[in-house]
Chain A
């Protein structure tokens, strides 16, 4: 017996450790919607570094982009004099300002149209893993942001806050596999649930007899208690009305371009 124990001790202890870790994860699923002290600490420590790095990298990327466009311009327009080149530089720089202006104006118009108080925030980091879809924003509990608050942009729904520390928060994007939004088709009011699937969404639980067409707009139904009613989720991309079963298989393309997410609005209301 002692010999057997000595021989298999590492395997047994390793198995017990792994099982304990699995049990701990399973127990923690009940507190999934709360930020634990460890996560808060990580957000507090890494947040400022990420915010500074994001600014520096964006600055370098902008400068590099301007430099590249300058090189191209010189190649394409060899005969242009120095004055034209410097004017072009200024134009390129003002283009960036104009684009940012347009984005912020769109966000501002949307903010003014909202009845709920909103808080603008900047996206400073993405999820560390390839398997999940979250982003980090530069607003936290000190600014009134708590877990469960919806996050939007002018084009539609972005996600909801899942973790918050005093100055930073993490937002679960609607494209994450663990995200589900009570939604409806704007045209015929058919209800369902939009679930994340990486780059796109699936619209589940829409009955087979409902008339659904490609291009139909999907909006939040307000039933889930997180998102207010009527926010745009996306447009129907593909419909498969299966021969058997109760429901249709519907793919939805999100209305928000998550690869170019820079500024967002947090709707300052808790889950209802």
Chain B
């Protein structure tokens, strides 16, 4: 329960950062998708049912702040979560570069799912050209954000709770990599 609340608080912080702070700091309309990084992290470290329900709930919350299609982000984030769960037994989840790779792949999957859901189900104009144009910037921003978050979170844990065991964080610490 505590962990769920922490995840919800982190999601809330991510949404506030993406809607208020990052648009002021970054030029243009692109901003890193911090919620996507959280969903990938959940995919690596949470059980399918608990994580799946939480991710779907996060998607519905995300709908309140992004776009005008209720249920769209629930579908997209759940798709990304299930894709990560699908490969989690076949890869070394204790590697931090894996998280960065998954964030990159997750960004491509996210934009593909957005385009699929809008082009096939809604009456909007095709969003593909816009997506293709913005995808390289989005990939770079998400990658950089994941890298910074990874380093920052590990530093926070080492500094403030060196003996603590936050889920997944010790595994992502480069000291434990061979």
**Measured between C-beta atoms, what is the minimum distance from B144 to chain A in Å?**
14
> B86 on the interface (CB 8 Å rule)?
yes
Are the C-beta atoms of B16 and A50 separated by less than 8 Å?
yes
Are the C-beta atoms of B138 and A130 separated by less than 8 Å?
yes
Are the C-beta atoms of B67 and A53 separated by less than 8 Å?
no
Contacts of B24 in A (CB 8 A): 57, 61
Are the C-beta atoms of B85 and A178 separated by less than 8 Å?
no
> B23 on the interface (CB 8 Å rule)?
yes
Which segment of A17-25, A108-116, A231-239 sits at the interface? A17-25
Are the C-beta atoms of A132 and B85 separated by less than 8 Å?
no
Are the C-beta atoms of A127 and B67 separated by less than 8 Å?
yes
Chain A residue nearest in CB terms to B65: A128
Are the C-beta atoms of B12 and A25 separated by less than 8 Å?
no
Are the C-beta atoms of B19 and A31 separated by less than 8 Å?
no
> B93 on the interface (CB 8 Å rule)?
no
> A46 on the interface (CB 8 Å rule)?
yes
Known: A14-B86, A54-B20, A130-B134. A21 touches B68 (CB 8 A): no
Are the C-beta atoms of A197 and B125 separated by less than 8 Å?
yes
Are the C-beta atoms of A42 and B61 separated by less than 8 Å?
yes
Are the C-beta atoms of A163 and B64 separated by less than 8 Å?
yes
Are the C-beta atoms of A178 and B71 separated by less than 8 Å?
no
Contacts of A265 in B (CB 8 A): none
Are the C-beta atoms of A25 and B72 separated by less than 8 Å?
yes
Are the C-beta atoms of B127 and A162 separated by less than 8 Å?
no
Out of B19, B79, B111, B124, name the residue touching A178 (CB < 8 Å): B124
Chain B interface size, under 10 / 10 to 19 / 20 to 34 / 35 or more: 35 or more
Known: A10-B85, A57-B24. A131 touches B64 (CB 8 A): no
Chain B residue nearest in CB terms to A51: B20
Are the C-beta atoms of A38 and B67 separated by less than 8 Å?
no
Known: A177-B127, A180-B125. A131 touches B79 (CB 8 A): no
Interface string of A1-32 (1 = CB under 8 A from B): 00000000011011001100110111111011
Are the C-beta atoms of A25 and B74 separated by less than 8 Å?
yes
**Measured between C-beta atoms, what is the minimum distance from B12 to chain A in Å?**
7
Are the C-beta atoms of A163 and B134 separated by less than 8 Å?
no
Are the C-beta atoms of B134 and A18 separated by less than 8 Å?
no
> B56 on the interface (CB 8 Å rule)?
yes
Interface string of A31-51 (1 = CB under 8 A from B): 110001011111101100110
Known: A25-B75, A128-B66, A131-B131. A57 touches B21 (CB 8 A): yes
Out of B16, B111, B138, name the residue touching A46 (CB < 8 Å): B16
Are the C-beta atoms of A14 and B33 separated by less than 8 Å?
no
Known: A39-B64, A127-B19. A28 touches B12 (CB 8 A): no
Chain A residue nearest in CB terms to B63: A39
> B52 on the interface (CB 8 Å rule)?
yes
Known: A10-B48, A10-B85, A126-B23. A196 touches B125 (CB 8 A): yes
Residue among A27, A132, A163, A176 with max Cβ neighbours from chain B (10 Å):
A132
Contacts of B33 in A (CB 8 A): 129-130
In addition to A36-B70, A131-B127, A202-B125, 5 A-B residue pairs with Cβ atoms within 8 Å of each other are: A32-B122, A39-B64, A126-B19, A131-B66, A177-B127
- What 4 pairs across the A-B complex have the smallest Cβ distances? A42-B64, A25-B71, A129-B66, A132-B67
Residues of B within 8 A of A (CB): 12, 15-16, 18-21, 23-24, 29-31, 33, 35, 48, 52, 56, 60-75, 78-79, 82, 85-86, 111, 114, 117-118, 121-127, 129-131, 133-134, 138, 141
